[in-house]
Amino acid sequence: MNLKEIRGLINRVDYDIVKLLNYRLELALRTKKLKKQVLDKEREQEVIENVQRIPLHLVSKDFTKQLFESIIAQSRGIQMEDRKMVGFRGEHGAHGELAITGYADNFVPIPCTKFIEVIEGIKTGYFDYGMLPVENSLEGGLSEVNDLLIQSGVKICGEIKQPFNYSLLTLPESDYRGIKVVYSHPQVLAHCSGFIKRNSLEGKPYYDAAAAARMIAETKPKAAAAIASPLCATLHNLDIIKENIEDDTTHFTRFLLLAKESENPAGKKCSIVFSTKNEFGELYSVLKHFNDAKTNLSRMESRPSPLEKGNFVFLVDFYGSLQDPKVKKILAAVEKQAAMYSLMGCYDEVEGK
């Protein structure tokens, strides 16, 4: 092994060390909601003693102690800062994470495997917020998320329209001309089918686009690449061969910032859910309140009612503030007439990057 090869390995190890340190700090932040106070000297001493027991020839106990004292101090400092834990479904590098970091600088994305985990984390207070996709510009509403919003009672306190940009990612040592297979989520492969076909590549489905990027970095399959967000390249030390390879570059997903309680009555957009009596003309009669007030609906979607078999509930978004007397009048009329009514939130929109 020559000097260049050894230095290449050192670079890769350094990258992994920093990535693990970031994960270590994320875990430390997650303990904040589960303990009474930040400072826990007994636990800090336990951590140092545990790592000093590891029998390694080149890492001395003194060095280990100094290193972990610094890590613990950094962890303690992060716990004392005003950082908000925001749950999202997917792995680090997913577009849900991009929506979170694009919304606010003090938001920390916490990955979950299922949408329901995000909702439960909000309801128990473990997460300060959740960020879930509710509508896609190509495929419409996400039924599972909309049903969870109807049933859970969590509130909408923000919105961000996150562009979906995909890149072709490979290992740094790969020759891009030898790529034959690309891995990604089936929907992502479909959204990038033109690029895949033009370059005579074979698309192989993977359960998650960000996970496909991680798999490429960890298993290093030959002649293979991943299609995922550009963030995945940074997270997994991959090279970006080509950016914006999606067929529709205007593709975006509307993400909702969710919380246990409403936060912004002065917001410029409102969301409600309601059902009507199962009688002819009732839906038209309810929607007429918006029409009479010359208030346009930005979205209306129907879902089977979780409470009344054979009936439907309607999710409606419209522009307006709860501080506007006209909006108050509309909502009062809707609530009075509807069989079931709930204000899901008043909030502002943010444009994603």
pLDDT tens digits, one per residue of 242-259: 999 999 988 899 999 999
Per-residue confidence (pLDDT) for residue 33, from 0 to 100: 87
193, 202 in Cβ contact below 8 A? no
Q: What tens digit of pLDDT does each residue of 82-99 get?
A: 999 999 999 999 999 999
Q: Encode pLDDT of 296-353 as tens digits.
A: 899 999 998 877 777 889 999 999 999 999 999 999 999 999 999 999 999 999 887 7
Q: Categorize the per-residue pLDDT at 159 as very low, low, confident or very high, splitting at 50, 70 and 90.
A: very high
- Tens digit of pLDDT for each residue in 169-223? 999 888 888 999 999 999 999 999 999 999 999 999 999 999 999 999 999 999 9
Average pLDDT over residues 108-118: 97
CA atoms within 13 A on the CB side of 344: 25
Domain ranges within the chain, ordered by starting residue: 3-80, 167-242, 263-351
What's the mean pLDDT in 6-11? Answer: 91
Q: Where are the alpha helices (DSSP H) in 31-184?
A: 41-52, 61-80, 95-103, 115-124, 143-152
pLDDT at 157 (0 to 100): 95
| pLDDT score of 204 | 97
Instruction: Identify whether the C-beta of residue 116 lies closer than 8 Å to the C-beta of residue 132.
Output: no
Hey, what amino acid is at 334? V
Any idea what the Cα angle at residue 311 is, between residues 308 and 313, rounded to 5°? 95
Q: For residue 220, what pLDDT is reported?
A: 93
Q: What is the pLDDT of residue 130?
A: 98
- Mapping DSSP to helix (H, G, I), strand (E, B) and coil, where does residue 296 land? coil
Residue 262 has pLDDT above 90, yes or no: no
Q: Report pLDDT for 310.
A: 73
Instruction: For domain 167-242, say whether CATH 1.10.260.40 is its number.
Output: no
Per-residue pLDDT band at 81 (split at 50, 70, 90) = very high
Domain formed by 263-351, architecture: 2-Layer Sandwich (3.30)
Query: Quick one: which of 63, 71, 88 has its CA closest to 28?
Result: 71
* Digit-coded pLDDT (tens) for 22-76: 999 999 999 998 988 888 899 999 999 999 999 888 999 999 999 999 999 999 9
- What pLDDT sits at residue 139? 79
Looking at 1.20.59.10, 3.40.50.720, 3.10.28.10, 1.10.357.10, the CATH number of the domain 3-80 comes to: 1.20.59.10
Among residues 332, 316, 220, the alpha carbon closest in space to that of 270 is found at: 316
Give me the mean pLDDT over the 225-238 stretch. 95
